[in-house]
Amino acid sequence: MMTLNHGFSGYICARVAAPVLKRHCPFSEKNLVLALFLGAMLPDLDIISTVLGHGAYFSGAWYGHRQFSHSVPGTLMLALLFSIPLFPVLAGRGHPRPRRAWLWLVGALWAGGWVHIFGDLFTPGMKMPVFWPLDFHLGGFSHIGWFSPYLLWLFVATIAIGWGLRLIPNWHPPAKRWIGWAAWGWYGVAAYRWVNFLLTSRYDSFSQWAGYQQDLLPEVLIAPVTEGVRVLWFWLTR
């Protein structure tokens, strides 16, 4: 999937799990959700391998795209690495239980990495060494082209409505509670639709996939996403 879509899928999964997790998490629900959002984008930082040349990025070497970075130990390493700069921002400097807060932060970033791997299992062509260094590759299910304007707009609309519901003034606490549950249900429906879309769509070729998106969305919503991805792809493959 597109990197931003990975982040949004992590955000929505975190919102669905938040009512349970926030009872135990030693920092705020907002920061827990943000950690999953960021963690779900970290594996695509393997793009830094392009400093060795674009061939390195598309190679099967451990530092290439969808190699070590898209594995269980790789996502743990990224979570540990990024927990260092993110700890003061998300878990809070001077936290009374810093070890517990740090473990939760690493766990949230790592869980985001797992959401990323799950999303990438369905894209065509490239299986991933999920249990690196074992020579056992998973994925390439060809259910979804990594480029998906439909998913982008699904996530953007869901998050915008979820935020809108939270902005309703606290004029009546019982009503506010029901609105909170409505927002949670909204995120749940979006998470279900995301998984359902991964399982039921089918990628055969770029032109077939483009036509499939056009059946789901008006062109005015597809064109800006297509142009943005075209520019990125040109830069990656030039």
* Interacting residue ranges for Zn ion, rule: CB under 5 A: 43-44, 120
Q: Nearest 5 degrees, angle CA 71-CA 77-CA 78? A: 90
Gap between the Cα atoms of 91 and 99, Å rounded: 10
Question: Residue 116 has what DSSP assignment?
Answer: H
Those residues whose C-beta lies under 8 Å from the C-beta of residue 3, and which sit 6 or more positions away, are: 41, 44
Neighbouring CB atoms inside 10 A of 111's CB total 22
Q: Is 30 helix (H, G, I), strand (E, B) or coil?
A: helix
Cα 191 to Cα 67, 89, 134, 173, 186, distances in angstroms: 26, 27, 31, 27, 9
Least gap, CB of 149 to Zn ion (angstroms): 18
Closest distance to Zn ion from the beta carbon of 25 (Å): 26
Kindly tell me which of 77 and 221 has the beta carbon lying closer to Zn ion. Answer: 77
Instruction: Closer to Zn ion by CB, 26 or 64: give it.
Output: 64
Q: Which of 44, 28, 34 is nearest to 11 (CA)?
A: 34
Residue nearest to Zn ion according to CB distances in the complex: 120
* Residue 37: CB minimum distance to Zn ion, A: 15
Q: Cβ of residue 43: shortest distance to Zn ion, in angstroms?
A: 5
State in angstroms the smallest separation of the CB of 120 from Zn ion. 4
Nearer to Zn ion, 44 or 122 (CB): 44
Q: How far is the CB of 1 from Zn ion (least distance, A)?
A: 7
Contact 179, 165 (CB under 8 A): yes
Burial of 176 (0-12, 13-18, 19+ CB in 10 A): middle
Give whichever of 91 and 120 is closer to Zn ion, judged by the CB atom.
120
Minimal distance, residue 172 CB to Zn ion, in Å: 44
Rounded CA gap, 233 and 224, in Å?
14
